[in-house]
């Protein structure tokens, strides 16, 4: 796995942390790539939590949002079990209308204080995916809100309560990577975890759900011999 500009090998992320909070907009956002890292970390005894802004109720074509919210919550709970994630929290923001408000930042900051992560992991919140496809407003707004909430959590006046300032790094998946993580131990769990989004994936394509899940996870990995690596942009 190499740097896009220099061609130099990407450095490994230092393994000096024990807790990780993944903060994303929708059910399935952690499963499209981050899951192999999450499974690797939980297997290594690290504490990993998922914080989801919405229940993805507007995400299944032809399915009423009220029903979709129930289905997608259930699928997300199953997906978490596959990768050993025991803490799953929803903030019940409106799917498709997530804004970076002070209230959302406060909600995220409170969860950061409650979970006390060493590292926060986000999905790409840039304008585009590699310059070719536009990113969604929910991903942009939620990612920016999470970055700002890390700072809010460390300020007792902006969010009343005990400060938490121990987030040492923020990782972004899906943006140009600066570091790599060996996720070999988590690959199969990541495929199983994404395949838990059964009704969601079935609505997207006629291909078998397991095939879709494996193809997606494969597309995120770089193999070196029998070791699989996942890239992250690392801040901090
Ligand atoms: Zn999403």
Per-residue pLDDT reduced to its tens digit, 3-29: 877 778 899 999 999 999 999 999 999
Q: Is the pLDDT of residue 128 over 80?
A: yes
Say how many Å lie between the CA of residue 167 and the centre of ligand 1. 23
Say how many Å lie between the CA of residue 168 and the centre of ligand 1. 25
| β-pair type (87-90, 47-52) | parallel
- Burial class from Cβ neighbours inside 10 Å (0-12, 13-18, 19+) for residue 45 reads exposed
Q: Is the pLDDT of residue 74 over 90?
A: yes
Say how many Å lie between the CA of residue 205 and the centre of ligand 1. 17
Say how many Å lie between the CA of residue 161 and the centre of ligand 1. 30
Say how many Å lie between the CA of residue 24 and the centre of ligand 1. 7
Say how many Å lie between the CA of residue 139 and the centre of ligand 1. 6
Say how many Å lie between the CA of residue 17 and the centre of ligand 1. 26
pTM for this prediction: 0.96
Do 200 and 72 form a contact (C-beta atoms < 8 A)? yes
Do 35 and 217 form a contact (C-beta atoms < 8 A)? yes
- The tens digit of pLDDT for each residue in 163-185 reads 999 999 999 999 999 999 999 99
pLDDT of residue 92: 98
Do 129 and 174 form a contact (C-beta atoms < 8 A)? yes
Say how many Å lie between the CA of residue 28 and the centre of ligand 1. 7
pLDDT of residue 125: 98
Say how many Å lie between the CA of residue 225 and the centre of ligand 1. 32
Say how many Å lie between the CA of residue 25 and the centre of ligand 1. 6
The whole-number average pLDDT for the span 114-127 is 98
13 closest CA partner among 35, 49, 36, 37: 37
Say how many Å lie between the CA of residue 162 and the centre of ligand 1. 31
Token pair for residue 83?
């990768």
Say how many Å lie between the CA of residue 127 and the centre of ligand 1. 14
- Burial class from Cβ neighbours inside 10 Å (0-12, 13-18, 19+) for residue 145 reads buried
Say how many Å lie between the CA of residue 26 and the centre of ligand 1. 5
Say how many Å lie between the CA of residue 155 and the centre of ligand 1. 29
């Amino acid at each position: 796995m190499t740097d896009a500009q220099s061609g130099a090998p990407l450095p490994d992320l230092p393994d000096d942390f024990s807790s990780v909070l993944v903060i994303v907009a929708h059910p399935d956002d952690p499963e499209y790539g981050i899951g192999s890292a999450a499974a690797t970390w939980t297997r290594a005894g690290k504490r990993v939590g998922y914080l989801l802004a919405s229940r993805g109720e507007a995400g299944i074509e032809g399915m009423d949002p009220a029903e979709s919210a129930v289905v997608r919550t259930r699928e997300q709970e199953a997906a978490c079990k596959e990768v050993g994630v025991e803490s799953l929290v929803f903030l019940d923001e409106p799917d498709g209308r997530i804004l970076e408000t002070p209230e959302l930042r406060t909600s995220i900051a409170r969860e950061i204080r409650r979970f006390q992560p060493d590292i926060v992991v986000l999905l790409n919140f840039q304008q585009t995916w590699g310059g070719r496809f536009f990113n969604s407003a929910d991903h942009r707004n939620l990612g920016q809100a999470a970055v700002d909430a890390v700072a809010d959590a460390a300020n007792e006046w902006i969010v009343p309560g005990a400060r938490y300032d121990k987030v040492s790094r923020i990782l972004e998946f899906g943006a140009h990577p600066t570091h790599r993580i060996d996720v070999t131990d988590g690959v199969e769990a990541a495929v199983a975890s994404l395949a838990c989004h059964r009704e969601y994936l079935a609505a997207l394509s006629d291909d078998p759900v397991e095939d879709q899940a494996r193809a997606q996870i494969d597309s995120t990995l770089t193999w070196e011999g029998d070791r699989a690596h996942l890239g992250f942009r690392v801040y901090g």
